[in-house]
A and B are shown apart, each in its own frame.
Chain A
Amino acid sequence: EAQVTQNPRYLITVTGKKLTVTCSQNMNHEYMSWYRQDPGLGLRQIYYSMNVEVTDKGDVPEGYKVSRKEKRNFPLILESPSPNQTSLYFCASSLGQANTEAFFGQGTRLTVV
């Protein structure tokens, strides 16, 4: 089954404690990205990757890091989480053309206290 898998689904952490949200896709997609969803602000792109070892900032990259060592995986790293990073996070993958739909993971609800 074609899917994007994010882990964990829910996470509560404390300010400053490094964490990683994993994302894996089994569709051999080249393009992957991370979004955060916040009430009243909608979905905003954090980082994206066009292919292995090719990543770039989206609209709200501050406080986040990503890596793309393998085509299927695109982890999101919060080196020192802060309460303003409390949000619902989505990983997405697609074939890489503008006319193809993005497939989304189940979402990770992160709370930083």
Chain B
Amino acid sequence: AQKVTQAQTEISVVEKEDVTLDCVYETRDTTYYLFWYKQPPSGELVFLIRRNSFDEQNEISGRYSWNFQKSTSSFNFTITASQVVDSAVYFCALSDPNAGNNRKLIWGLGTSLAVNP
């Protein structure tokens, strides 16, 4: 069965610290897609990144970076020099292209990040 585990329920850091959010996934498929979404206090879900199973290159977008390692089934997310505006719940999700017509995402339970001034 497919599963996404975000072991860190809550993380609290002080502004300008670096923080890594862990995501471990389980799937039997060789082709799959991984996503990160951000849910700020206002409640909406904001897409951050997509990664397919054949692309293990790390990605950097400003202060955000992602480390995808198939060997450990992990897709970790690092925020460098965190800011108060980064405070949110972050979700990792897995999509299975072999799930027939249903494009549902398998979600982790999220990591609540609090960045304190």
Contacts and interface: CB of A to CB of B under 8 A. Distances in A.
B9 to A, nearest CB: 10
B4 to A, nearest CB: 9
B76 to A, nearest CB: 19
A104 B97 CA distance: 20
Nearest to B47: A101
B101 A50 contact: yes
A96 interface: yes
Interface residues of B, number: 25
B64 interface: no
A59 B108 CA distance: 15
Nearest to A90: B45
Interface residues of A, number: 30
B104 A48 contact: yes
Nearest to A58: B104
A25 interface: no
Contacts of A86: none
B48 to A, nearest CB: 9
Contacts of A105: 44
Interface of A: 31, 33, 40-43, 45, 48, 50, 54, 56, 58-59, 88, 90, 92, 94, 96-107, 109
Interface of B: 32-33, 35, 37, 43-47, 50, 52, 91, 95-97, 99, 101-105, 107-110
